[in-house]
Amino acid sequence: MTPTDKRPNLRFVALAIGMFAIGTDSFVVAGILPSVAEDLRVDVPTSAELITAYALAYAILSPVIASVAGRASRKALLIGGLAVFVAGNIGTGLAPTFETAIAFRVVAALGGAMFTPTAAGAVVALAGPEKRATALSILFGGLSAATALGSPIGTAISGITDWRGTMMFVAAVGALAAVAVLIGLPAIPRPPAVPFKQRLSPLADARITLTLLLLLVTYSGLFVLYTYVSQVFRPATGGDGTTLAWLLFAWGAAAVVGNLFAGRLTDAFGNRIVINTAPRRSSSSSAPRGAADISYQRSSLS
């Protein structure tokens, strides 16, 4: 590979750092729920609403932001999204009440919603059709790395300091990502404006709808467990944050391995083979994240 071939990958890594920050924010709260519940004087099931608020806002706002901000500078949108994300996490870490924390979780999700679809479009534009799946696997590898590294590190930090220290760690990673994007990413041409209704039009294709339903069912089962991972593993960890961090590392490492191979396999053999092979390994959390996600994104963006 020539030096010029490697440059785009470095640009993808800058965006992957942003995905790492957003993924860490998505996953790390699960490991610190008991600490959050005790400090904010709520029970553990109620504290899990911090995860729900973030996830719902992120899911709802992502397509809305992509439509509304279609004419904005891609780089400005990426950096602005990370700035909002950082502010949301700092606000969460300083929140005096549970209700305030919920509000700032929505702010953090808004930042993530600004960044994620913009980053996906950016890597596709930079990579070209022949390397699209590989580029997406690098980008979303940052999300998988968050389960292997970001979430365990954040959980360990909570054990050393408290949950507020964890939120400041997430904000610091987001700030680092903003600097990486500012320095490492070139100007990206604005894509044609796509109305919100047109963005939903792929759902008319039964294959895409079924793929999305498969992912919805898979991830619903995955995150029902993951949300309460600190409680599920408490008999094994005794409430020790370091032990839980190692268990989260093992979980996330499988997701990273899936992403490392899924994009290249899709470029080499096509998305159909990868998608049909992945469910046979569905007992591993890396299969849907590594194979089905990237293969779907390649097919839907083609």
- Where helices occur in the chain by DSSP H, the ranges are 3-31, 33-40, 44-47, 49-68, 74-94, 98-127, 132-145, 151-160, 163-184, 196-200, 206-227, 229-232, 234-237, 241-269, 271-277, 286-287, 293-301
Question: Is the predicted pLDDT of residue 3 greater than 60, yes or no?
Answer: no
CATH number at residue 73: 1.20.1250.20
161/167 Cα distance (integer angstroms): 11
Mean pLDDT of 107-131: 85
pLDDT value of position 281: 47
The percentage of residues in the chain with a pLDDT greater than 70, rounded to a whole number, is 82
Predicted pLDDT of residue 140: 77
Instruction: Tell me the three state secondary structure of residue 239.
Output: coil
Look at residue 109 in the predicted model and tell me its pLDDT: 96
Q: How confident is the model at residue 279 (pLDDT cuts 50, 70, 90)?
A: low
- DSSP state for residue 149 in the 8-state scheme: I
Region 214-226: what's the mean pLDDT?
A: 79
How far is the first Cα of the chain from the last one, in angstroms, to the nearest whole number? 25
pLDDT band (50, 70, 90) for residue 226: confident
- 59-107 pLDDT, tens digit per residue, is 899 888 888 887 788 899 999 999 999 999 999 999 999 999 999 999 9
Please determine, for residue 260, whether its predicted confidence score (pLDDT) is greater than 70.
Answer: no
Q: How confident is the model at residue 193 (pLDDT cuts 50, 70, 90)?
A: low
DSSP character at residue 189: P
Reduce the DSSP state of residue 130 to 3 states and report it: helix
The parent domain of residue 183 ranges over: 3-301
The pLDDT, as a whole number, for residue 90 is 98
Domain count, the chain: 1
Please tell me the least confidently modeled range out of 110-114, 168-172, 248-252: 248-252
